Amino acid sequence: MPNKNLIQVFEYQKLRFTDTNDFKEHHFKALVKFNEENDNKYFKPIYNGIQFGSYVGVLQIGGLTIEILPKADKIDNSNQQEKDTWQSVLLHMLRVCNKIQVETVSETQLKKRYHSILEAYFAMYLEEIEHLVKRGLVKNYRRVKSNQLAIKGKLVFAQNIQKNTVHKERFYCEHQVYDKDHLIHQILLRGLQVLESLNTSHLSDKINRLLFQFDEVKHITVNANHFKKIKLNRKSQPYDRALSIAKMLILNYSPNISFGQDNMLTLLFDMNMLWEEYIFRTLNKHKPFGYEVSFQNSDTFWEHKTIRPDIVITNTKSENFVIDTKWKIVESNNPSDNDLKQMFVYNLHWKSKKSILLYPQVNQRDSEFGNYFYKHLENSQNQCKLGFVSVLENGSIKKGNILSDEIFDKL
């Protein structure tokens, strides 16, 4: 049974608050404000709603979760089985690209237990902190300044005179304390507070129990710089996973984005960039012997401008092959002029005889390699073709080694 607090949509799909009881006008206003604060890159406002673009992932606004799923075929937007399939594809691609670390959660568990990708994250975060609490939260040394009834550590003369002119019996000292109130715990506490604010009522008991374990930890406003300061050692290494999830929660959280009504958590990815990285990681992991695969090879093109093919493959004969990934549905054998010109330049610049424009497959077949006609290349090849690969096989996610073999065979 679908979760009433979860709406699943596909790329470029429209969502109106007049079409569903779950998506309200205040949700719409929160999304529009969030989008405006991010250069309007995530979706397009339309009458009474929004139209999603190339970004996929998950949004949580208060108690409502919206999953935006990739769409590589002409599927029925209302078909739940199709939504489950493409949710699994998205989760798999995010895993392979190390965008989320949910390798302990299978797609089956996700559907039965969590309902959404984001909810899986919430549950894992709480499980990680529970595990740390059972191990015993580690203590660290930290330096503090405070008034004492006896000299403890080092007397801070200037501040002692300033603060204790009347109270001669006190001493303003700087000294060390050994306790649980340090940056790592302050970050984990902030992560718990984010979950508490997101109206995750079914997790509230567990959240409150864990918040109690951090009652002596100072509340701070956490930003990206705090995570850069953390250096894990042997004693704090078990915190690594919890900190990774906390980083995602905190840095993607937007409190009170719509006039104090809704808190928002977003985890969004450009599908074009995700597809590009997914193909690279798959090829690099399952490459045949004698091949090297490199990613985003930027080089100077004109003055200060650079060019960057997505993937360059080199073999032991020092032959180069260029792959440029495109996450969109196209008619077979009909590349755009701009794409063909771009691949021609890649071939010249990287001394590649062959290049491929690689698209997700619906029903298309690969084209044959076509020749570029250029008078200075009469005795040398400069070719390009369209290639198509599917991430699915018989309704299930295609294994990485099979996908890699298919792509290398195209060369």
The pLDDT, as a whole number, for residue 261 is 58
Inform me whether the pLDDT recorded for 192 exceeds 90. Answer: yes
Q: 101 and 223 in one domain?
A: yes
Backbone angles phi, psi at 230, to 5 degrees: -80, 125
Answer yes or no: do 397 and 310 share one domain.
yes
Residue 169 CA to residue 150 CA, distance in Å, equals: 8
Residues 117 and 219 in one domain: yes
Q: Would you state the pLDDT for residue 259? A: 39
Distance CA 352, CA 381 (A): 9
Cβ 358 vs Cβ 280: under 8 Å: no
pLDDT digits (tens, 9 = 90+) for 212-270: 999 989 999 999 999 999 999 999 999 998 998 899 889 888 765 443 456 788 889 99
Amino acid residing at 290? G
Half-sphere exposure of 202 (CA within 13 A, CB side): 9
Residue 57 CA to residue 12 CA, distance in Å, equals 13
Do 298 and 157 belong to one domain? no
Full-model pTM: 0.81
User: Looking at residue 191, what is its pLDDT?
Assistant: 94
- Domain end marker among 270, 303, 320: 270
Domain membership flag for residue 275: no
Please give the residue range of the domain that contains residue 301: 286-410
**Same domain flag for 47 and 151:** no
Pair (77, 208) in one structural domain:
yes
Q: Which of 243, 270, 297 is the last residue of a domain?
A: 270
The pLDDT tens digits for 101-141 are: 655 455 555 555 556 778 778 888 999 999 999 999 999 88
What pLDDT, on a 0 to 100 scale, did the predictor assign at position 78? 76
Instruction: Answer whether residue 209 is part of any domain.
Output: yes
- Report, as an integer, the average pLDDT of 377-404: 87
| Whole-number pLDDT of residue 260 | 45
Domain count of the fold of the chain: 3
Alpha carbon distances (Å) from 370 to 62, 253, 333, 353, 355? 53, 48, 10, 11, 10
Residue 310 lies in a domain: yes
One domain for residues 260 and 388:
no
Q: In this structure, what CATH number is given to the domain that contains residue 365?
A: 3.40.1350
Contacts of residue 282, Cβ cutoff 8 Å, sequence gap at least 6: 96, 400, 403, 404, 407
Q: Which of 55, 57, 54, 43 is nearest to 15 (CA)?
A: 43
> β-strands 140-148, 171-179: how paired?
antiparallel
Residues 223 and 297 grouped into a single domain: no
**380: pLDDT confidence band, cut at 50, 70 and 90?**
low
Residue appearing with tokens 């295609």: 398
Contact 126, 206 (CB under 8 A): yes
Cβ neighbours of residue 169 closer than 8 Å, sequence gap 6 or more? 149
> Are both 116 and 230 inside the same structural domain?
yes
| Domain membership flag for residue 1 | no
Q: Is 277 within a domain?
A: no
| Residue type for position 231 | K
At 119 the pLDDT is: 78
Q: Which SS3 state, helix, strand or coil, does residue 273 take?
A: helix
Domain annotation covers residue 216: yes
Q: Is residue 303 part of a domain?
A: yes
Phi and psi torsions of 249, nearest 5°: -65, -50
In terms of domains, do 44 and 126 share one? yes
Same domain, 302 and 386: yes
Residue 195 lies in a domain: yes
Residue where a domain terminates, one of 149, 179, 209 = 179
Residues 226 and 159 in one domain: no
DSSP string, 313-376: EEETT--EEEEEE--S---TT---HHHHHHHHHHHHHTTEEEEEEEEE-SS--PPPPEEP--GG
Q: For the segment 311-327, what is each residue's pLDDT rounded down to a tens digit?
A: 999 999 889 999 999 99
